[in-house]
Structure 1
């Protein structure tokens, strides 16, 4: 027997990419909308009155006018092993890795601890409305198993990969070129396209991978071109100087990956703040994606991402918390930070652009835009319902709002997990752990 549910209330709809033109032509809110979900898939999206008449037997959940039915949030760049060290004080990138990240990732050498952190991370992010993440794991293969297993238990779509490092890291966190290849290959065979799991080949970044390791991972990607490849690019100026010292023969940071086949349409580069013109041209030519991590970029002092300039080149751009360099598990807070960085650059983003980046835009960068990120027929029913009056401060702003966009913007800027009314994953209403 089919499991059919009708969600009734204001519905956020995408008709295009608001970063490519007028947001008014690409995003709309149907204030008298409804969504029919059947067996984990969105079957019909339309008007409230029509769907109520056509589907009288469906289980009905009605949301008030101060709610908004949205696609589930898609967090396109995270480090789930850093859950326990989020919001640690006072370090920039390289010191952050040495003082906080590497010691915590060493703790995940214990499979039981990795399992506990994976479960905790998915529960925390689900409480903030996130239904899909793309995560770096640790060098331990079981850390990948832990996250994919926890996601499968929740029937949750997740992208992840074993982080590969064979230099400039503690001995207990280093693999080799061969073991990185072998472990990643085994994990691809075990997890890629298994249920809602997708694998991403994952060199951490050039400073922690030798040429041999990058070459091995480039060869592996050539053998499995339907996988993603995720890594970091041009996050901080001192990191770029380090890369230049390590690889003086290359043209720029991107070239350290390109030289080993680690660029292409399914490449996903986190941060990408301080890009050279050649790098931007090459990324545009190959169709690679960039991920904006605004809370991380300010928290550890990296810089201001050029959203307007890169979007003008029609590059795929997603949005991410970058847990735990990012200081929040919330994509609402991440959208707010993206707005603030846009203001500092003189190019503030509209609420329609922000919500698109956190859903359909991020799904696009992960090559999942045909499955998630939109309230559309045939899509997987990953849905987040926002309460636009979740706190007294937000409620009084909602009461003064001229339209739903003003109200949504107030929730983006001031909202937290209290603004998450409901989360549906594959058509099943999530229950808090």
Structure 2
């Protein structure tokens, strides 16, 4: 099989009704593969709602520079190409991505193991297993792994680990994780294991109560994360027609607030949003707190452009507009994302932001040529595999 056939072979989307409530199938899959996760001697897990990927990158780079060895970095979902999920930092701070031949070889191992134990892993389970196989193949002993959904029953939690780091936990994926902030925190707190070092960024009192209860049950304590001020928010800056266009994939209320805060700091040229006219193109998914996110941009100097990132989980532009009516900002609706992006070229504002979901970031990076030309076709074909008709067909009940 070729690379895209390998990807297609492991695409098995998970529905809320099928969310795992045990780690045993994932552990069985790894065992059938020869337990590649045992090659890892130090593992850091990152869970939360906001900034997980940013924290994971920060920690992996920090570890690589400290120990002078390769450090695995496993994150999800991908922005443009699937292979972004499985990487490692070298001691010189260069980031290396799994190659297509290794994806093919690893998927063959996974499919063989799954067949022998009569189990069909989800996309995320198979991808996690692929990462473990690749790290073992490359003799990587340290890795930073980002939790995908929740934590307690997430495939990544099947990997033995020594350190847990929590980023801010918010009300998200409510349908899958119990519907309340406390239930979501309980799922995420499940990554705490006996003997783990546990660190957290600031949390709400409700969340801290849940985390501290879990830590006490596991015989450990929670410490404040010590280097919070050194974490650099990841976003793309595009220059098009002499205009600065900022692309961000955050999608929670705290992510929106943090984006505004970052844009007012010297790191991005001290844009000072309050003194500028701003156009914000927003597209979001159905299970996100759209009103809480958009409220961060509701100011007299802002024009909101509601659009849609596309895909089965996306809100239409009109549905998004119905979620929030601005009190101060002006607004317009442009249903098609490409048309919304084209409209920025002739708008009168001086600052432009495209945000609201990773799908928005993905398609916008393609549109403005942020992706290297040799990866553009891979990005488009990957998006079709994970968002196209065949993917939607697999979402239907068996």
TM (normalized to structure 1)? 0.30
Q: Point out the structure with the larger strand share.
A: 1
Q: Which has the higher contact order (CA 8 A, sep 6+)?
A: 1
> Taking structure 2 as the reference length, what is the TM-score of the superposition?
0.32
